[in-house]
Amino acid sequence: MTPQEGKRAPAFTLLDQHEQKVRLSALTGQRVLVYFYPRADTPGCTTQACGLRDIGDRIGDTVVIGVSPDQPAKLKKFDDKYDLGFTLVSDLDHAIAEKYGVWVEKKSYGKTYMGVQRSAFLVGADGRIERAWPKISPKDTPTELLAALESA
Catalytic machinery residues: 45
Given phi > 0 = left and psi -120 to 50 = alpha, else beta, which region is 46?
alpha
- Residues 91, 103: contact at Cβ < 8 Å? no
Residues 21 and 17: their CA atoms lie apart, in Å, by 10
* Phi, psi (deg, nearest 5) at residue 75: -65, -40
Question: Helices (DSSP H) in the chain: which residue ranges?
Answer: 43-54, 72-82, 95-99, 140-151
Given phi > 0 = left and psi -120 to 50 = alpha, else beta, which region is 101?
left
